[in-house]
Amino acid sequence: MSTLPDGWGDGTRSVHAGDGPPVPGTPLRPSPVFAAPYHLGGLPPRANGVDAYARTEHPTYRAFETAVGALDGGRCLSFATGMAAVSAAVMALVSAGDRLVLPADGYYATRLLARDELERLGVRVEYVSTLEIADVAARGDLEGARMVLLETPSNPHLDLCDVAAVAAATRAAGALLAVDNTTATPLGQRPLALGADLTVGADTKALTGHSDLLLGHVSTTSDELHDRLKGWRDHTGATPGAFDAWLGHRSMSTLDLRLARQATTAEAVTAALAAHPAVTGVRWPWRPGDPSYALATRQMLRPGGVVSAELADEDAVGRFLAATRLWTAATSFGGVHSTVDRRAQWGGDAVPAGFVRFSCGIEDTDDVVADLVAGLDAA
Judge residue 56's burial from the number of C-beta atoms within 10 Å of its C-beta, 0-12 exposed, 13-18 middle, 19 or more buried.
middle
CA-CA-CA-CA dihedral for 326, 328, 332, 336, to nearest 10: -30
pLDDT value, residue 379 = 93
Q: What is the pLDDT along the chain (379 residues), one digit of tens a residue?
A: 556 787 899 999 999 999 888 899 988 888 999 999 999 988 898 998 899 999 999 999 999 999 999 999 999 999 999 999 999 999 999 999 999 999 999 999 999 999 999 999 999 999 999 999 999 998 999 989 999 999 999 999 999 999 999 999 999 999 999 999 999 999 999 999 999 999 999 999 999 999 999 999 999 999 999 999 999 999 999 999 999 999 999 999 999 999 999 999 999 999 999 999 999 999 999 999 999 999 999 999 999 999 999 999 999 999 999 999 999 999 999 999 999 999 999 999 999 999 999 999 999 999 999 999 999 999 9
Spatial CA neighbour of 66 closest among 78, 57, 84:
78
- DSSP codes of every residue in 102-135: EETTS-HHHHHHIIIIITTTT-EEEEE-HHHHHH
pLDDT value, residue 339 = 98
Q: What is the CATH number of domain 10-252?
A: 3.40.640.10
- CA-to-CA distance for 324 and 9, rounded, in angstroms? 36
- CA-to-CA distance for 43 and 52, rounded, in angstroms? 11
Q: Which contiguous run of DSSP H or E holds residue 164?
A: helix 163-173
pLDDT value, residue 3 = 66
pLDDT value, residue 1 = 56
Backbone angles phi, psi at 259, to 5 degrees: -65, -40
What sign does the dihedral 298-156-217-175 (CA atoms) show?
positive
pLDDT value, residue 346 = 94
Cis amide linkage into residue 156, ω under 30° from 0: yes
Q: What is the pTM of this model?
A: 0.95
Tally of CB atoms within 10 A around 136: 18
What does the domain layout of the chain look like in residue ranges? 10-252, 255-378
pLDDT value, residue 204 = 98
**CATH number of 255-378, picked from 3.90.1150.10, 3.40.50.620, 3.40.50.10490, 3.30.470.30:** 3.90.1150.10
Question: Is 10-252's fold the same as 255-378's?
Answer: no
